[in-house]
Structure 1
Amino acid sequence: MKTYENLSFWQEDIGAGVTRQPLTENIRADVCIIGAGFTGLSTAIHLKEKRPDLNVTVLEADFVGYGASGRNAGFSMRLFGVTMELTMLLHGKKKTKEADAYLVDAVEYLEEMIKRYDIDCNYERNGMMTVATNRKELKQLYKEIKAASELGLEGLTLLDGERTKQIVHSPTYLNARFDEYAALLHPAKLVNGLAKTAESLGVTIYEQSKVIDVHENDRIVLTEAGSVQAEKIVFATNAYSSFYPALDKKQIPIYTYIVLTEPLTEAQLKELRWEPRVGIEDARNFLHYYRLTHDNRILLGGSEALYYYDSPLHENRNERMKALLIEDFLDIFPQLKGIKFTHHWGGPISATLDLIPSIGRINDDIWYSIGCMGHGVSFTNYNGLTLAELILEERSKRTEFFIINRREIPLPPEPFRYMTVSAIRNYLRYEDKKGKKEKLR
């Protein structure tokens, strides 16, 4: 069978690859889901739990968890969009509070799912810190704390510099915000656990079954070697949605990259402290995100968010980004100078032009979920429950969420798309560079 190498440490760790047969015939299904990542598998599970009689088929172009679901950093978190301040600016206080409530529920619900389905994915619920490393980031952190207080959001605490460094020792830390609604996990183990759960409920998953077209009126999904005639269709493809014209203008693939160290020694761990084992991000626009893995490596990602002209989907490595991330790592943890970096990978996340997610429908029988903005571990799994409710025409607080059937800002075609995205990126990068140059006096 075909295998894939060097996609991510997580996938390598479990020996991920193709283990299921492709679709090679014309079949029928009640629901056909395109994409075997978190969104697609969670939707399939919840449909079968609610309606065991349904025939649910999942089509995957590569293998289960090939995309972001098997390559992300493994943060289950409440962040919606880019920042709380930006969400408030673009969408108002009411919707910002509604979004936070949805994401807090998502973090709690994913923990419940993992327990309910007995999925071993190295789950650790220790919260996360958002750290400030210069005056500009400190100002941003205070703004976010003030906004959270005004909205009455729970679970967020401001830490002074001394307490921040007691948790994790970096000479760059000034202050931090601690969020109790956050956890860490092994994403490839989670997505494979979801696939096994779905199959135990009677879901059929086809790998190596790339969708080449969808006939909307007839509800026929065509692959390279077969087809599915379905009553309902779900695009659970996120960043990999550009093959379908109706979704290509709604979202773009933005790339984020990661480096990973060798396992830390006991002496190195003692020097860093890292107790409790929190996830960490900083308060930049193009933030860094980092954490300890289950075998005590340090994973660091972010620093830039890249868009490639004409939206390619397989720019899985970038040597310039690897070098930049290693340089940033040693700025954060200079005491680890000389440590070896064993892995580097990346991949696309789904971004909308107004920088928030969207769940919508192309017609009465075709649904989609896009724009997780790189914060999709708990969010996309919770969206699976929401999509199941929408497909079955159930009503809940989730189906009333403002991102459901909202009007997205359409993206222009190339070259104007590249110019638009570059202008936004350049502004955000400029703001980050200003902050980096500021020195405390």
Structure 2
Amino acid sequence: MNLSYWELKNWFTNIDYTIVGSGIVGLHAALRLRERFPDSKILVLEKGMLPQGASTKNAGFACFGSLSEIIDDLKSHSEEEVIQLIEKRWKGLQLLRKNLGDDAIDFKPFGGYELFLKNDDTNYDLSLNKMSFINEILKPVFKTTVFAKEIERFGFNGIKEYLIFNPFEAQIDTGNMMQALLKKAISENILILNQQTVTEYHESKIDVQVAIGDFNFKTKKIVFATNGFASSITNGAVKPARAQVLITEPIPNLDIKGTFHLDKGYYYFRNIDDRILIGGGRNLDFEGETTSEFGETTIIQNQLEYLLKNVILPNQDFKIQHRWSGIMGLGSSKNPIVSQLSEHVYCGVRLGGMGVAIGSLIGTELADLI
């Protein structure tokens, strides 16, 4: 790649900070670095045409965990860890709203609901029994009750009588959010180059040499915000997890508003533009969905369609318009990794499927490490 004098001078000379990944974390890290170091030169490299992992592919849930998901997390995390995680997600959502504004991200505080299938006695009974305990431990964060029982009123089929309602949950427009974030980064003189894959990097005492294809440049610090693609830099502490999604064509007189969770958060759906978007089903094939390859599978897509037809829209005709997938970053713990890996190398990854909620905070924490 023979770059011109101008290209080398303006884009690849005297770089202070190179951020790999232009998603929620990467751009918030860049914005925070700009705030802290106003005169620095900041370059963001993105391997996709758009942010490649999940930042432009997620379902747009401004959520921090359904009741059954929180109860499930308490099996593998301490009570203190779970509370801290929820607090971080909540703070992250407030930071995202403050940085971009509710209008820009199309923030709609419709609340969130959890529903339980008729035959899911175990999770239903456990959630109702544990609800007051979870509300109690979350009171210091929210200052009031979070979860409450509500009679089902949406016309769903084959589910338990009560839904669990959460008034603090909302929905956003993922595309609007990322466009607003990209515009803000560009307005702050942050350089963004798309379709550039970092193939390797070599650290010296004073800087890092970065290779993108057969071209090399130097940067004082390199920051990885690659989430689901971070396995190699974290020695396997982050594993990719594919999330499959589909969306219907517009449905006349659609009377469903809110964000909805099913089966400990493994399924989720919402209204958007008179359509229903539904995603999840990773639990049907954990091994197959532990992949960084985009794509859809018959077993999961069929189950998403089954839930649409038999549970969510039982008496309505609908057509599927579009299907896609995103790549999340998971691990044995849901705690994000925000770490200095060596003298000039940093990473902020493993968002645990909660990138919308926690991404802005992790990006800010990542920049503050430097």
Q: Per the shorter chain, which TM-score range?
A: 0.7 to 0.9
* CA distance 1:227–1:183, shift in 2 (3 Å): farther
Q: Is the Cα contact below 8 Å between 1:88 and 1:96 reproduced in 2?
A: yes
TM superposition shift of 1:53: 1.1
In structure 2, what is the equivalent of residue 297 of structure 1? Answer: 275
* CA distance 1:309–1:88, shift in 2 (3 Å): closer
SS in 1 for 2:108: coil
Alignment root-mean-square deviation, CA = 2.7
TM superposition shift of 1:38: 0.8
Q: Is the Cα contact below 8 Å between 1:129 and 1:176 reproduced in 2?
A: yes
1:189 and 2:176 aligned? yes
1:31-60 CA-partner distances (Å, limit 9, x unpaired): 110001111011111211232112111001
TM superposition shift of 1:130: 1.8
Counterpart AA for 1:156: V
TM superposition shift of 1:80: 9.4
Q: 2:219 aligns with which of 206, 216, 230?
A: 230
Q: What's the % identity of the aligned pairs? A: 21
1:244-289 CA-partner distances (Å, limit 9, x unpaired): x3325111111111111111102xx2xxx33xx311102x246210
Q: 1:281 aligns with which of 254, 261, 265?
A: 261
- TM-score by length of structure 1 reads 0.74
SS in 2 for 1:149: helix
* CA distance 1:250–1:110, shift in 2 (3 Å): same
Q: 1:220 aligns with which of 209, 213, 219?
A: 209
Counterpart AA for 2:146: L
SS in 2 for 1:338: coil
Task: Measure the CA separation in 2 of the matches of 1:206 and 1:309.
Answer: 32
Q: Is the Cα contact below 8 Å between 1:262 and 1:342 reproduced in 2?
A: yes
1:106-255 to 2 correspondences below 5 Å: 106-115=92-101, 120-133=104-117, 134-153=120-139, 154=142, 155-160=145-150, 162=151, 165-166=152-153, 168-171=154-157, 172-217=159-204, 218-242=207-231, 245-255=232-242
Counterpart AA for 1:176: L
* CA distance 1:311–1:98, shift in 2 (3 Å): closer
* CA distance 1:346–1:340, shift in 2 (3 Å): same
In structure 2, what is the equivalent of residue 43 of structure 1? Answer: 29
Q: Is the Cα contact below 8 Å between 1:359 and 1:370 reproduced in 2?
A: yes
Task: Measure the CA separation in 2 of the matches of 1:256 and 1:80.
Answer: 17
Task: Measure the CA separation in 2 of the matches of 1:331 and 1:25.
Answer: 54
SS in 1 for 2:314: helix
Counterpart AA for 1:199: I
Mean Cα deviation higher: 132-141 or 322-331: 132-141
In structure 2, what is the equivalent of residue 362 of structure 1? Answer: 341
Task: Measure the CA separation in 2 of the matches of 1:231 and 1:180.
Answer: 45
Task: Measure the CA separation in 1 of the matches of 2:10 and 2:196.
Answer: 8
Q: 1:264 aligns with which of 251, 273, 282?
A: 251
How many residues matched? 354
Task: Measure the CA separation in 1 of the matches of 2:91 and 2:244.
Answer: 28
Task: Measure the CA separation in 2 of the matches of 1:159 and 1:197.
Answer: 40
Task: Measure the CA separation in 2 of the matches of 1:278 and 1:56.
Answer: 38
Q: Is the Cα contact below 8 Å between 2:201 and 2:211 reproduced in 1?
A: yes
TM superposition shift of 1:371: 1.7
In structure 2, what is the equivalent of residue 76 of structure 1? Answer: 62
TM superposition shift of 1:299: 0.3
In structure 1, what is the equivalent of residue 297 of structure 2? Answer: 318
In structure 1, what is the equivalent of residue 3 of structure 2? Answer: none
Task: Measure the CA separation in 2 of the matches of 1:81 and 1:387.
Answer: 29
Query: Which has the larger strand fraction?
Result: 2
* CA distance 1:234–1:280, shift in 2 (3 Å): same
1:67-108 CA-partner distances (Å, limit 9, x unpaired): 201111001112399932343333322222222222211122
Counterpart AA for 2:279: G
SS in 1 for 2:324: strand
* CA distance 1:82–1:48, shift in 2 (3 Å): farther
SS in 2 for 1:190: helix
Task: Measure the CA separation in 2 of the matches of 1:336 and 1:248.
Answer: 49
Q: Is the Cα contact below 8 Å between 1:59 and 1:207 reproduced in 2?
A: yes
Structure 1 stretches of 5 or more lacking a match?
Answer: 1-20, 392-441
* CA distance 1:152–1:246, shift in 2 (3 Å): closer
* CA distance 1:178–1:146, shift in 2 (3 Å): same
* CA distance 1:330–1:231, shift in 2 (3 Å): same
Q: Is the Cα contact below 8 Å between 2:338 and 2:365 reproduced in 1?
A: no
In structure 2, what is the equivalent of residue 439 of structure 1? Answer: none
Task: Measure the CA separation in 1 of the matches of 2:9 and 2:350.
Answer: 28
SS in 1 for 2:244: strand
In structure 2, what is the equivalent of residue 343 of structure 1? Answer: 322
Structure 2 stretches of 5 or more lacking a match?
Answer: 1-6
Q: Is the Cα contact below 8 Å between 1:62 and 1:208 reproduced in 2?
A: yes
Task: Measure the CA separation in 2 of the matches of 1:120 and 1:347.
Answer: 23
TM superposition shift of 1:387: 1.4
SS in 1 for 2:75: helix
Task: Measure the CA separation in 2 of the matches of 1:307 and 1:192.
Answer: 32
